[in-house]
């Protein structure tokens, strides 16, 4: 990559054209409003050796109304990274698939998604893993970077889905970049076996604890899940801890010995979610009667303070975590910093994350980290023993033995985290809603069928975003089962989940943004003054109310993070401003190719 770097006065409207097979840009620059920075576009020249350059033209007009003062820097980042690098450079990339060298600010990651026999809890099974490990390799980014994640689908084992798609759980997406968001049949089509896709994900100003997983069907139960951490070099809570690195990531999840395709068939046949065989902590677990797989070890040093980033990567189960004799100071929920709040025990639903600080201030020794779990009736699966899900917190200098004493179940009435007790570090009042929705979640007894207000979500063949690009504009553009709600840009949506009598609380998760938890399932208090913001919230027996601002156009998936429930119908799509989406979203040819390729696959290959 070489050539001139034309500096363009940052534009109010810009016309970008790439013509023919050579890199000819024509700009129609004018000036940025509100003093945005200069925009620089690096011109990529075609390879002089005559390699084919993709022949495409792109015409983008950016509208003035997107450049409010608040959005200025956000938009600038997005523009520079998404449009300039992703669209222009991708278009000019030789068809042979040459890889751009790493650039400052870009974090290139390759995930080879493949089948492999592993035994997380001592039982060997074929799995779906990224780069050979369960959980997948940690994606460790720094604030402001752009992830460039190339997923190479090398799946061959037909007992699991052969296609795949990655979700970057909790990461914010702009309307322009929504096509890289990875939700099958909402913003994209799955990646078929043998195919690849590169997700370009600018992280903007986001920081915190996130994760990635397959978003296709219940495929992530086969192992395709891993952490995604965005470190903040100027963390406002950085003075509270000494250690925050790969060793302080704690991933818990439920685990099955069978594969997702037969398990899903079993669910569809009976209406009963298959109960997991075990749980894992950082990919290691035990089951009744299984081998004594060594418990995972979390190493600490006396006197130091550790920022543990705890991620519930389960497909269904609720995990309740505590450290024996070590209280936890909660400092973030779902990536959003909170005012420090000391607890002993935290209940985590599927998809939720908590960052906690733990001080290694006990006598040098070994202590249990307990993570028992609940997901359905354990009596249905004799393999399951939730009390075997634990790890060893080991002080430096302690003997390499298991902690003394029995496993102790967490004491629920003492120091138990109530979500409603959390306050954001930077409080904002909840905005006033412009639209109200009420989501009543009802199961059909004996069937794997769930409804939201009587509607079972069934994904369309063409992703919502593709339909938008092809002209879908109103609620009636979508069939009932797409459960899609069109709103004007800037709408503030309030969603009420009325109290339910379900055994499971449903962890509702919104893609691409987070929401204000105005009423938590853990409290009767309505808090519009300083509610926490998160992206996955329990809706259950006490009722829950959330609000979110739809300030980016395009379809955002909103679903239960118990993927069995999502698969059975607990899904919906928030669709602000489809016309606006159509004007600004410009997926590249790699995205365009996904649906035709997927639709051409046999059902077994999908």
Residues of this chain that bind Cu ion (CB under 5 A) = 506, 560, 562, 565
Q: Is 8 or 272 the residue whose CB approaches Cu ion more closely?
A: 272
Say which residue the tokens 């290959």 belong to.
605
- Residue 314 CB, shortest distance to Cu ion, in Å, is 12
Nearer to Cu ion, 374 or 468 (CB): 374
Strand partners, 294: none
Least distance between Cu ion and beta carbon 546 (Å): 15
Contact 512, 552 (CB under 8 A): yes
Shortest distance (Å) from residue 537 CB to Cu ion: 12
Residue 307 or 559: which CB sits closer to Cu ion? 559
**Which helix (H) or strand (E) covers residue 176, if one does?**
none
Query: Which CA distances in Å does 542 have to 109, 452, 485?
Result: 42, 18, 26
* Residue closer to Cu ion, measured from CB, 86 or 562: 562
Nearer to Cu ion, 385 or 536 (CB): 536
Q: Angle at CA 356, nearest 5°, toward 353 and 359?
A: 155
What is the CA 471 to chain-centroid distance, rounded?
28
The partner residues of 230 in beta bridges, in order of sequence, read 141, 208
In terms of CB distance, is 39 or 216 closer to Cu ion?
A: 216
CB neighbours (10 Å) of residue 602?
7
Report the nearest approach of Cu ion to the CB of residue 540 (Å). 10
At its nearest, how many Å lie between Cu ion and the CB of residue 52? 48
Question: Smallest Cα–Cα separation from 160: which of 216, 227, 212?
Answer: 216
470 is written with which tokens? 């092809």
* Local structure of residue 405 (DSSP, 8 states): S
- Beta-strand ranges (E) seen in 469-551 are 484-487, 491-497, 506-510, 515-519, 533-534, 536-539, 544-550
Q: What's the 3-state SS for 353-398?
A: EEEEEEECCCCCCEEEEECCEECCCHHHCCCCCHHHCEEEEEECCC
User: DSSP state, 454?
Assistant: T
Cα separation, 175 vs 195, whole angstroms: 25
Q: How far is the CB of 561 from Cu ion (least distance, A)?
A: 7
439 within 8 A of 495, measured Cβ to Cβ: yes
DSSP class of residue 580 equals H
Cβ 368 vs Cβ 567: under 8 Å: no
Distance from C-alpha of 311 to C-alpha of 136, rounded to nearest angstrom: 13
- What is the chain's Cα-based Rg? 24
Q: How far is the CB of 366 from Cu ion (least distance, A)?
A: 37
- Nearest CB to Cu ion, comparing residues 364 and 442: 442
Cβ-based nearer residue to Cu ion, 203 or 537: 537
For residue 430, what is the enclosing H or E element? none
Q: Which of 287/564 has CB closer to Cu ion? A: 564
Smallest gap from residue 11 Cβ to Cu ion (A): 45
- CB nearer to Cu ion: give 269 or 503: 503
Least CB distance to Cu ion at residue 570 (A): 5
* Least CB distance to Cu ion at residue 415 (A): 27
Q: Which residues contact 159 (CB under 8 A, 6 or more apart)?
A: 126, 259, 261, 262
Shortest Cβ 560–Cu ion spacing (Å):
3
Residue 468: name the closest of 455, 482, 478, 456 by CA: 478
Burial (CB < 10 A; 0-12, 13-18, 19+), residue 108, is middle
Nearer to Cu ion, 510 or 562 (CB): 562
What's the rounded Cα separation, in Å, for the pair 579 and 362?
Answer: 59
Nearer to Cu ion, 562 or 575 (CB): 562
Min CB(516)–Cu ion separation in Å: 21
- Provide the β-strand partners of residue 152: 112, 196
Cβ nearer to Cu ion, comparing 29 with 543: 543
**Residue 539 CB, nearest approach to Cu ion (Å):** 8
Residues 542, 499: contact at Cβ < 8 Å? Answer: yes
DSSP-based three-state secondary structure for 213: strand
């Amino acid at each position: 990559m070489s050539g001139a770097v034309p500096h363009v006065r940052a534009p109010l409207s810009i016309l970008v054209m790439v013509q023919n097979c050579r890199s000819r840009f024509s700009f129609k620059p004018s000036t940025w409003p509100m003093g945005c920075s200069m925009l620089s576009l690096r011109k990529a020249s075609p390879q002089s050796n005559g390699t084919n350059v993709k022949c495409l033209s792109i015409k983008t007009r950016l509208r003035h109304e997107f450049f409010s003062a608040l959005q200025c820097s956000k938009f600038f980042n997005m523009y520079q990274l998404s449009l300039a690098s992703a669209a222009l450079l991708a278009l000019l990339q030789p068809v042979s698939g040459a890889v751009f060298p790493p650039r400052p600010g870009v974090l290139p990651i390759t995930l080879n998604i493949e089948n492999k026999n592993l035994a997380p809890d001592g039982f060997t099974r074929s799995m779906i893993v990224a780069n050979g490990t369960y959980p997948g390799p940690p994606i460790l980014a720094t604030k402001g970077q752009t992830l460039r994640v190339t997923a190479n689908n090398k799946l061959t084992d037909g007992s699991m889905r052969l296609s795949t798609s990655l979700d970057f759980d909790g990461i914010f997406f702009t309307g322009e970049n929504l096509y890289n968001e990875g939700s099958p049949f909402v913003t994209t089509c799955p990646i078929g076996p043998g195919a690849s896709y590169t997700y370009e994900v600018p992280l903007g100003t986001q920081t915190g604890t996130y994760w990635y997983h397959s978003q296709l069907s219940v495929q992530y139960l086969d192992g395709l899940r891993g952490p995604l951490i965005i470190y903040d070099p100027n963390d406002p809570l950085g003075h509270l801890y000494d250690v925050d690195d790969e060793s302080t990531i704690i991933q818990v999840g439920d685990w099955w010995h069978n594969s997702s395709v037969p398990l899903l068939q079993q669910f569809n046949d009976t209406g009963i979610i298959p109960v997991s065989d075990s749980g894992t902590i950082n990919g290691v677990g035990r089951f009744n009667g299984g081998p004594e797989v060594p418990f995972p070890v979390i190493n600490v040093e006396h006197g130091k303070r550790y920022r543990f980033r705890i991620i519930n990567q389960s497909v269904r189960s609720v995990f309740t975590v505590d450290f024996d004799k070590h209280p936890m100071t909660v400092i973030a929920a779902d990536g959003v910093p909170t005012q420090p709040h000391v607890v002993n025990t935290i209940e985590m639903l599927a998809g939720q994350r908590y960052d906690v600080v733990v001080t290694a201030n006990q006598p040098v020794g070994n202590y249990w980290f307990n993570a028992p779990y609940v997901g359905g009736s354990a009596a249905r699966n004799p393999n399951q023993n939730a009390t075997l899900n634990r790890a060893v917190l080991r002080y430096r200098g302690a003997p390499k033995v298991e902690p003394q004493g029995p496993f102790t179940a967490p004491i629920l009435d003492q120091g138990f985290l109530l979500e409603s007790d959390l306050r954001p570090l930077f409080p904002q009042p909840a905005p006033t809603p412009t639209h109200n929705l009420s989501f009543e979640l009802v199961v059909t007894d004996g069937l794997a069928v769930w409804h939201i207000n009587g509607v079972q979500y069934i994904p369309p063949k063409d992703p919502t975003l593709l339909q938008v690009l092809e002209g879908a504009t109103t609620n009636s553009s979508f069939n009932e089962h797409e459960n899609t709600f069109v709103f004007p840009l800037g709408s503030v949506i309030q969603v009420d989940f009325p109290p339910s009598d379900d055994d499971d609380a449903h962890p509702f998760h919104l893609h691409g943004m987070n929401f204000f938890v105005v009423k938590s399932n853990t409290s009767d208090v309505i808090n519009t003054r300083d509610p926490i913001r998160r992206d996955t919230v329990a809706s259950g027996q006490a009722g829950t109310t959330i609000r979110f601002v739809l300030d980016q156009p395009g379809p955002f998936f909103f679903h239960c993070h118990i993927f069995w429930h999502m698969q059975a119908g607990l899904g919906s799509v928030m669709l602000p401003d489809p016309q606006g989406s159509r004007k600004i979203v410009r997926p590249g040819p790699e995205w365009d190719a996904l649906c035709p390729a997927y639709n051409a696959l046999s059902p077994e290959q999908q």
